[in-house]
Structure 1
Amino acid sequence: MDSLTKEFAVHVLKEDANRIKRLIRNQKNSLCISQCKAFEEVVDTQMYGFSQQVSFAIRVGIIEKDEGQLILSELERELNQLYNDVYQENYEKNESGREE
């Protein structure tokens, strides 16, 4: 087996982070994010698994701790923004429905 490069490891981690983001974006239109507890559990499970992947990469010395924390924090920030966008859209829909 060829040696694992840091660049490849970071690439794989970022692909997994993007997969989690796509999972949430795909549910954005169905309102499942704001109304489905099972979906939140799936996201929590995905995030936990991803954090374990990052932790493993740090422990075996493939990436530095700071870089791993940065990857996790960027994903968490983007996911929080997606959640905020959905909740804001739902709030605005509810408010406009009350005005009519």
Structure 2
Amino acid sequence: MESISPELALDLLYQEADRIKMLIKNQQNQFCISQCKAFEEVVDTQMYGLYRQVSFSVRLGVISEEEGQQLLSDLEHDLNQLYNEIYEKNKAIENGKEV
């Protein structure tokens, strides 16, 4: 069996994080993102899956705990930014301003 380099493992995990960000960015219905519980659950499930993948990679010793925590922290920061942008956009629309 071929061994996996830490660089490859971390790259694959970052690709998964990017996939989660794209899931949100590609959602056409901005209102659904901020109001739809089903969409929220999908994102939560994806985040939990990534958390488990990171945890497994750390336990295997393929990546360090710090690298895993940084990846998750970066993703949470990016998702918060996306949600804030959506909130601001919806707020502007509610106030009758085009964005």
Name the TM tier (shorter chain).
over 0.9
The separation in 1 between residues aligned to 2:61 and 2:2, in whole angstroms, is: 16
TM-score of the superposed pair, with normalisation by structure 2: 0.92
Identity of aligned residues (%): 55
- Alignment of 1:91 onto 2:91: yes
Give the CA deviation at 1:7: 0.6
The separation in 2 between residues aligned to 1:26 and 1:35, in whole angstroms, is: 16
Q: Which runs of 4+ in 1 moved over 3 A?
A: none
Structure 1's unaligned 5+ residue stretches are none
Give the CA deviation at 1:3: 1.0
The separation in 2 between residues aligned to 1:2 and 1:51, in whole angstroms, is: 24
The separation in 1 between residues aligned to 2:26 and 2:37, in whole angstroms, is: 16
State the SS of the aligned residue for 1:96: coil
The separation in 1 between residues aligned to 2:65 and 2:95, in whole angstroms, is: 44
Structure 2's unaligned 5+ residue stretches are none
Moved more, 78-87 or 30-39: 30-39
- Alignment of 1:64 onto 2:69: no
TM-score of the superposed pair, with normalisation by structure 1: 0.92
1:54 aligned partner: 54
**Given residue 87 of structure 2, which amino acid in structure 1 is its aligned partner?**
Y
Report 1:31-42 matches (<5 A).
Answer: 31=30, 32-42=32-42
The separation in 1 between residues aligned to 2:3 and 2:66, in whole angstroms, is: 22
**Given residue 21 of structure 2, which amino acid in structure 1 is its aligned partner?**
K
State the SS of the aligned residue for 2:26: helix
Q: Which has the higher helix share?
A: 1
How many residue pairs end up in the alignment? Answer: 96
